[in-house]
Amino acid sequence: MTRGGPPATAVGLVVTGLVCQEVGASLAVLLFPQVGPLGMVMLRLVFSAVILLLIARPALGGHGRAGWIAVVQLGTALAVMNGFFYLALARLPLGITVTIEVLGPLALSIIAGRRRSSWLWAGLAFCGVVALGGGGWDRLDLLGVLFALGAAVTWAFYILASARVGAAFPRLDGLALAMTFAAVLSLPFGIADAGAALLRLDLVALGAAVALLSSTIPYALELIALRRLAAAAFSILMALAPATAALAGFLLLGQHLTVWEMAGIVLVIAASIGAVRAGGRRADDIAEPTG
Beta strands in 128-185 (DSSP E): none
Residue 69 lies in a domain: yes
Mean pLDDT of the chain: 84
Query: Is residue 87 within 8 Å of residue 136, measured between CB atoms?
Result: no
Residue 195 lies in a domain: yes
Task: Rank 37-51, 52-66, 251-265 by mean pLDDT and report only the highest.
Answer: 37-51
Per-residue burial over 32-43, b = 16 or more CB atoms within 10 Å of its CB, e = otherwise: bebbbbbbbbbb
3-class secondary-structure state, position 87: helix
Residue 101 lies in a domain: yes
Containing domain of residue 28, as a range? 8-285
> pLDDT value at position 259?
87
Residues 5-41 have pLDDT tens digits of 456 787 888 889 889 999 999 999 999 999 999 999 9
Residue 2 lies in a domain: no
The one-letter amino acid code at 199 reads: L
Number of structural domains, the chain?
1
pLDDT cut 90: percent of the chain above it: 37
Alpha-carbon distance 88 to 142, whole Å? 10
Q: How far apart are the first and last CA of the chain?
A: 31
Residues 91-112 have pLDDT tens digits of 999 999 998 988 888 887 777 7
Residue 206 lies in a domain: yes
Apex 85 CA angle, 83 and 90, nearest 5 = 95
Residue 64 lies in a domain: yes
Residue 290 lies in a domain: no
